[in-house]
Chains A and B, each alone.
Chain A
Amino acid sequence: MPPVSVDGSLEKLRREGHIVIVGASLAGLRAAETLRDEGFTGTLTLVGDEPHDPYDRPPLSKQVLLGRVPADHTGLPRRRALDARWRLGVAATGLDLAAKRVHLADGDSLEYDRLLITTGVRARPWPHELEADLDGVFVLRTSDDAAQLHRRLNAGPSRVLVIGAGFTGSEIASACRERGLDVTVVERGSAPLVGALGGVVGEVAAKLQREHGVDLRCGVMVTGLEGDSAGRLRCAHLSDGSTVEVEVAVVGLGATRNTEWLASSGLGAGPRGIACDAGCRAFDVRGIVTDDVFVAGDVARSPHPLFGYQFLSLEHWGNAIAQAEVAAHNMVSSSTERRPHVWTPSFWSAQFGVNIKSVGVPPMADEIIVTQGSLDERCFTAAYGYQGRIIAAVTFDQAKWLEFYQRQIEQAAPFPPEFTTVDRRPEGMRPVPADFPDPSLPSHGPTVTLSGHSPSDRRISFTPLHA
């Protein structure tokens, strides 16, 4: 049934309104498609700072670095025709909430009836600018980044340094080893993936890396990158006093949310993202929800009923799509027709030949229990517990079981689990501390961040240590 508004304004919006989407990646594209699916026939404009058609990022650290797929071959398939206006290669620079206008880097501005912000995140650069500019220092977030890094790996560098063993860093290390390149991984925490999956699973990831020939150094920081007289990266200095000779360094220190362009707009936007309600409507700095500005994808912080209504920031592929679809639906629906975004966090990573998948919010957990398989075999399912309930689960090469655990999480099932499993005797089922690092310490990014209950949290800042 088409939505009806008392004064006809919603019908007019759906028929001839102007919707602007700032951010032309996965979330922006899927939102645009959903708007058309929902019957929006007005003008639709997508703004993107990259010059490329919307493309998929997960293959960049895997297929592309392995040389199996060219970096410009990850364009996202369209689900339908869009009839949209595209402003690609032009960043948004400001937002005037009162005038309902988005300002663009080329001096133009766009008036909107409804605005969707899907500006996502960007790679956090190496904090020391002169060192970051050395030839051989890379980040990996965009298709252009991937093309450049791939070209350099093709040249056969003597050694690659990966700074930060989060998912991206670990996948890069995996691709390098598969290509036969020598790799040193330096991780500030106690193990790879420790911020996202905790110390117990992190230990498995560490063994996996070492078995595949990675020179893994944990509990250590890179304090400086040094170039030769021609400005080419020559070596890295570490906090334990050692030096590693490297020709390529990839900085995998997590991501920064693209919210700077909203700094003086009055929206509740800050380093942790843009706060929105469960219906994807953005909050302003006063904590009042807006009627015409919506948010989706990596840049959003939204409250989740499964996790105590804390704001969650998710850097997850699946969340970008699910939230974009809800936001788009709500943008052209009356208040009673709107839907909440209650997606259960899920992500995957493929590295060193293992398929790692997770549901829920592992970093919230205090305990973990291996319910199926075994850590030693790198083939297992583990459940995470928080205050007596299952809050998350992770699988290594056991993806088929994950859906069951997702239902357990959604039903707030008890932890430790009461069910028995096929391959483990009940007496072997003992929870142990999940061993997450102090969440107040900066890390390469757990991919899920719990960021409190305040809709206008603008205080968090992050300053990585450097020489």
Chain B
Amino acid sequence: MRLVVDLNRCQGYAQCAFLAPEAFTMHGDEALMYDPQPDDAQREHVLRAAQACPVKAITVEGTDGALIAERAGASRVG
């Protein structure tokens, strides 16, 4: 699964680091370090972390009713 954190929004509340410690860790007092491609086994934890983020900074692929499967390679031409 792929995710990205908008670190302009992130204010270091660290909710994600409590809820999905495999994917999100604090680096120092405030900086967040995350795994942009955590194992699918982490999915439940990651989704809970995304929902709990007070500033809604976490985007997880496939949570907005969008397709997950499509990759650039799948429709590549030329």
Contacts and interface: CB of A to CB of B under 8 A. Distances in A.
- The B contact surface, by secondary structure, is loop
Interface in B18-61: 27-37, 59-61
A379 B29 CA distance: 10
Nearest to B35: A69
B78 A87 contact: yes
A48 to B, nearest CB: 8
Nearest to A46: B72
Contacts of A85: 75-78
Nearest to A348: B7
Given A63-B35, A397-B29, A56 B70 contact: no
A84 B76 CA distance: 8
B53 to A, nearest CB: 14
Contacts of B28: 350, 353-355, 397
Contact of B27 (A46, A317, A353): A353
Contacts of B77: 85-87
Contacts of B35: 63, 68-69, 73
Nearest to B34: A63
A457 interface: no
Given A69-B35, A350-B31, 10 more contacts: A59-B34, A75-B36, A78-B2, A78-B66, A79-B66, A81-B70, A346-B8, A347-B8, A355-B28, A399-B12
Contacts of B4: 56, 76-77
Interface extent on B, as a size class? 35 or more
Contacts of A379: 29
Contact of B36 (A53, A59, A108): A59
A221 interface: no
A80 interface: yes
B64 A80 contact: yes
B10 to A, nearest CB: 7
A39 to B, nearest CB: 16
A153 to B, nearest CB: 17
A80 B66 contact: yes
Among A46, A54, A355, the one with the most B-chain Cβ atoms within 10 Å of its Cβ is A355
Contacts of A83: 75
B48 to A, nearest CB: 17
Contacts of B36: 56, 59, 63, 69, 73-75
